[in-house]
Structure formats: C-alpha cells, structure tokens
Structure 1
Amino acid sequence: MTTLLHIDSSVFPGERSASRTIANAFRQAWQDQHPEGVVIHRDLAADPVPHITADAWSAGHTAPDERTPQQVAAFAARLRLIDELEEADAILIGAPMYNFSIPSTLKAWLDAVLLPGRTAGEKPSVAGTPVVVVASRGGSYAPGTPREGFEFVQNYLEAVLKNTLRLDLDFIVPELTMAPRNPAMADLVPLYEASRTRAFEEATVKARDLAKRLAA
C-alpha cells in the first residue's frame, strides 16, 4: 500500500486556486492507480503549522534527556510532521507564488520538517522520495521573460527539497493565472489557457507514471 502526502498552501479554496486545482488532478490520477492507497492531506491555509520557535528549533540540537518541558512540547509537533514526511512514498505540494516567493505557511512547514541529522545532512532519511510541486504564478517568470530574475519559488524549493532533503524533485508550472482577471493581461489569455491545459496534462501523466514506477 502506497502513501501520498499532499500539501496545499494556497489561501484560496477550490477552483479559485490554480495550485489546488492542478494538484487535485494529480491526486485523482494517483488514486485511480492506487484505489487502496493512503492520501494524507495537509491544508496549510485551513490548519497552519506553527512558525518555528526558539524551543522548537533548539530542541532539535539538544539531547532528548536535556530538553526542557517547553522544548519537548514544541519538538513533538515537529516530529509528527517529520514522521508523515518519512512515511510517504510520494509527496505532492501546491506552492503558489505570493510576492515572488512561497506562502509563509509552506515555509513554516519546511522549517518544521528540515532537521539536520535526520531529514537533512549526510544521509537524509527522505532521500530519493519523489516530490511533485505545482508552482502556480500570476505572471510568467520563465527564462527570457522580463521578470525572470524575480523567480524565487523554484530556485528556493530546489535548494531545500532537492539539495538539502535530497528528494527527487519535479515541477508543474501553471503560468499567467491572473490573465483572465486582469484587463492589462487580456492579450495573454491564450497563453494562460495553453499553460493551464498543459499543467493538467502533466499532472495526469506524472501521477500515473509515478504510481506505476512505485508499484513496479
């Protein structure tokens, strides 16, 4: 039995969120391949992870028998999230771009699960686990575009997910999601529609391929 850990971080619900919509398509295709599988869904907008505190951080660098009661309580919350991450066979993350970066709720989750000596370091416990990130954005930050230099979502997540946690990282990038709602972007609507269609197709194909790979 396989387990998919699904993390959403968009502040918008349902169809109002591009990242949620595309991620749901991935999840559905995954469940079609694994009807008996387990999906653990964390909605970081509805149920935010506490931002890292001094107790939660320092507990990870303190021997268990030397932790204060406050450190023990704060670290327990981190351990629940780390356990979920380690038990997952695959990870799906919705990461919309807000002000050129990821939502603070997703950053809080990453701060909680990144633990040197366990999930990070010489032998990360989650190394090799596949993770697909739906990195939606209102405009385009692709190479060659005017705002290429403002792309801090994929660059940051590569540093954390791929280079630090050593996950097997893949992206789906729906672009120009503001075009239908912003009159100044009206000419870009066809490009938005093409990007959205491509993102749905990638979500279905990547989910099926990954499910088959893990089942082999």
Structure 2
Amino acid sequence: MSLFRLDASIRTEGSASRALADIVEKHWREASSAAPISRRHLVTDPIPSDAWHTAVTSWHIPEADRTAAQQAAVGLASSLADELADADAYLFAVPLYNFGVSQHFKTYVDLVSTDPRMADAEPATAGKPGVLVTVQGGNYSPGTPKEGWDHATSWMRRILEDVWHIDLDVVTREFTLVGENPALDEFADMAADIRAGAESKAHESGQIFAQRSQPASA
C-alpha cells in the first residue's frame, strides 16, 4: 500500500492547503506506518511550460526519430504517469489562484494526460481512493456575493473523478486570506468557524481515507 502526495501551493511556509493535507496524511500514516509515500511539489519542482506541447506532438513519432527535446518531454510524461500508476492512493493539495486552477497543476495534468495509460478509458488511477484538499483566499460558496467565482474546484473534480476515475473525497476551506488582507477583517469570526470546520472535515476524511486505502483482506 503506497501513497502519492502532490502539493501546489506557492507558499513554502504558512500554506493552508498543506496544513489540511498534513492532517489527512497523518491519519493515513497511522494506518499504514510502514507504507511508502512518494511526493511531488509542483512549485519547488515545476513542470516545464513547454513540455505538454512537445510531448503531445511527439507520441506518434517513432522513438528513434524523436529529437532530444521530444524524448525528454515524453520521458517526463511517462515518469509522472509512473508515479500515479505505482501508487495505491492519492492526496492532492491544490489552492485556488486568481479564481482558477493553479497553473502548476494545470501544466501537470496536461502533461500526464499525454501518457497512454492516463488517456485510456480505464486509466492507471481508476478505482483507487484519493483526497483533494483545496483552499480559497476569499469565499465563493453559495449565497456569497462572489458565488460561482471558484472556477477551479469543479474542474479538478472533473479531472480526478470523471477522467482519472479516482474514488475522490474533497476537503475545502474558504477565507484563508482573512487575517492577512485588512479588507476581510470583518469576517474574522466566520473565517475562524470555517477553519475549524475544514480541519474537522480533514480529520474525518483522513480517517475514512486510511480505511479505504487498506487492502480488502485487512
């Protein structure tokens, strides 16, 4: 039993998405103390922005005829797909930026999707359990003035659930910029409640995730 964890926060310290994902991982680790965890951080180790275009236009070219750049792009796509194929469970921590999906995560998804194992009707991730942790600096939930401005979470769910067929749970937290952006100071109490609820959800999801990640015979 192995876990693949991906982080996409631009923060090296004080990341809200990383903190919630750490809670989920803690429960997974308690249930699988000796199991390996592979990690990828898309900001400290970014995917080259031109890799997707190079890879997607190179698969039809015989390997012997590919340029060095084409070989590198296809090889990177394959290694990223290997990480997913080799894991038994997934933990993604991806914040919302500028009302949309992180460019780092979008670049990653585009490149991974060029590998035949991930483009198949039954991709290498199909049926495996996963948790998506995502956070928003503002609040775009139903009933708020900017309801619907979160254009990232639904897209990520479509990829992870409907395209990659991961058995997905989602943990989210809004108003992470309260306390940092003075314009949001009036929402301090609401943000504290939201944070407590998100952390509670992370504990719950982590416990369930740990159970779902165990072999059927366990």
TM-score, normalization: structure 2?
Answer: 0.90
Q: Distance in 1 between matches of 2:89 and 2:205?
A: 12
Does the 8 A contact of 1:23 with 1:134 survive in 2? yes
Superposition map of 1:1-216 within 5 A:
2-14=1-13, 16-51=14-49, 52-64=51-63, 67-115=66-114, 117-215=116-214, 216=216
TM-aligned CA deviation for residue 18 of structure 1: 0.4
Does the 8 A contact of 1:13 with 1:20 survive in 2? no
Does the 8 A contact of 2:54 with 2:73 survive in 1? yes
Q: Distance in 2 between matches of 1:67 and 1:187?
A: 58
TM-aligned CA deviation for residue 111 of structure 1: 1.2
**CA deviation profile, 1:4-34 (whole Å, cap 9, x unmatched):** 11111111123x1100111111111211111
Q: Percent identity?
A: 32
Q: Distance in 2 between matches of 1:68 and 1:199?
A: 48
TM-aligned CA deviation for residue 85 of structure 1: 0.7
Q: Distance in 2 between matches of 1:135 and 1:108?
A: 17
Question: SS in structure 2 opposite 1:166?
Answer: coil
Question: SS in structure 2 opposite 1:24?
Answer: helix
Structure 2 spans left out of the alignment, 5+ residues: none
TM-aligned CA deviation for residue 133 of structure 1: 1.2
Question: SS in structure 1 opposite 2:38?
Answer: strand
Flag the 1:29–1:80 CA change in 2: closer, same or farther, 3 A.
same
Flag the 1:118–1:192 CA change in 2: closer, same or farther, 3 A.
same
Question: SS in structure 1 opposite 2:45?
Answer: coil
User: Which letter maps to 1:146?
Assistant: P
Does the 8 A contact of 1:114 with 1:165 survive in 2? no
Does the 8 A contact of 1:97 with 1:135 survive in 2? yes
- Larger mean CA deviation between 85-94 and 139-148 belongs to 139-148
| Alignment root-mean-square deviation, CA | 1.8
Q: Distance in 2 between matches of 1:70 and 1:203?
A: 41
User: Which letter maps to 2:207?
Assistant: R
TM-aligned CA deviation for residue 104 of structure 1: 1.1
TM-aligned CA deviation for residue 59 of structure 1: 2.4
Does the 8 A contact of 1:82 with 1:112 survive in 2? no
Q: Distance in 2 between matches of 1:129 and 1:101?
A: 26
Does the 8 A contact of 2:171 with 2:205 survive in 1? no
User: Which letter maps to 1:172?
Assistant: V
- Larger mean CA deviation between 126-135 and 58-67 belongs to 58-67
TM-score, normalization: structure 1?
Answer: 0.91
TM-aligned CA deviation for residue 152 of structure 1: 0.8
Question: SS in structure 1 opposite 2:148?
Answer: helix
- Larger mean CA deviation between 36-45 and 178-187 belongs to 178-187
Structure 1 spans left out of the alignment, 5+ residues: none
Q: Matched residue pairs, number?
A: 214
- Larger mean CA deviation between 128-137 and 112-121 belongs to 112-121
